Amino acid sequence: MSAPGVRLIQTIPYRGNTHETGNLYHFVGSAPSDDSGWDDLVDDLAAIVGPGLSAANVIVRAYCYTDTDNDSVYTSDLVARSATVTGSNSPGSSATREPGDVAAWIRWKTARVNSKGKPIYLRKYYHCVYGQELPAQVDALDSTFSANMASMGNSLRGSSGSWPGLGGPDGVEPALCSVSPFLTTRTLLRRGKRP
């Protein structure tokens, strides 16, 4: 049985349309006992995540799980509750927003190791991020944007209001986070196999 969690869904502009993307956040402790408790937890989680996202991201919905191995038990609709959160991560003055399939990641080291003794990490990918303006380092995340992502990543570990703190699928709190200084690709829409 996995720990409880919340999958935050945000909209981003992508290829001339609006696209939904998101991340699953496990947390320590027990799941809320009612819908109101879930809404409070989601609102506090969104308030932590928002400052790490660019303004192109709008958190609109969350799926809530008492056990992430099973179906969600509640859907928190931030649009219907007039509680949407727009990202507020401000990049440096010379940064440029990257295409939709470009992403940045945060990872948290856990106390667990794999069968080869290497540490296991929690990792989350975020889109509509800002890179350094050329001719600076190619494929580098803007340093101001990165610092704001790191602040968000570290804030997730602590409790805030109804948010009890980030956990792994096993419910154990991870260690301090790190943000990759480099951009990566995480395809949002996969093309079907060619005939």
CA-CA-CA-CA dihedral for 172, 41, 149, 126, to nearest 10: 90
Sorting pLDDT into bands at 50, 70 and 90, what band is 91?
very high
Over residues 84-97, mean pLDDT:
93
Q: Which of 30-34, 70-74, 110-114 has the lowest mean pLDDT?
A: 110-114
pLDDT tens for each residue of 123-158: 999 999 999 876 666 789 999 999 999 999 999 999
Residue 94, pLDDT score: 85
pLDDT at 194 over 60: no
How many beta carbons lie within 10 A of that of residue 110, not counting itself?
18
19 to each of 13, 54, 90, 104, how far by Cα in Å?
6, 15, 21, 17
pLDDT at 10 over 60: yes
Ranges of H-type helices in the chain: 35-49, 143-157
CA-CA-CA-CA dihedral for 125, 127, 133, 136, to nearest 10: 20
How many beta carbons lie within 10 A of that of residue 97, not counting itself?
17
Q: Give CA–CA dist 102/161, Å, rounded.
A: 32
Domain positions in the chain: 5-185
Residue 17, pLDDT score: 93
The percent of residues above 70 in pLDDT, for the chain, comes to 95
